[in-house]
Amino acid sequence: METVHTIETPELTAKLNKCEIDILHFVDMWLPAFTSWAVEELALKCELFAAETLQAVDMLILHGLLENDGTDSMMGRRVRIPDEAALWIRENTETINSLAMMNDTELFMSSEYAEA
């Protein structure tokens, strides 16, 4: 079963899984300098599988945090961050970073993992 994290704000309530949080965390590090990425590039930079990246990108588009930005002949499908979404990401940077850190199992030793 997948864990879903909720970030509630007056503007948007986003229910995000690990892949979506990883993508937002990566994007947040590059705002405002870069606002457009190839989906394949996001998969590589976030160390995600292509299929899960496509699903995450599609969900982020539904949340209004990304939008399609055409297709590149070399890198394929591209997405961009709308201005309103960039502002929302910036306002929720601390929460996104905390969730990304919590989800990054490489930061913890196996003896520190929680058992359900």
Q: What is the pLDDT of residue 105?
A: 59
**Rounded Cα gap, residues 70 and 33, in angstroms:** 19
Q: Does 113 reside within a domain?
A: no
Number of domains in the chain: 1
The crossing angle, in degrees rounded to 10, of helices 18-30 and 83-91 is 100
Q: Does 107 reside within a domain?
A: no
pLDDT tens, 41-75? 999 999 999 999 999 999 999 999 999 999 988 88
Q: What is the pLDDT of residue 106?
A: 61
Q: Does 109 reside within a domain?
A: no
Q: Does 63 reside within a domain?
A: yes
pLDDT tens, 71-87? 988 889 999 999 999 99
CATH of the domain at 33: 1.10.10.10
In terms of residue numbers, what domain contains 89? 5-100
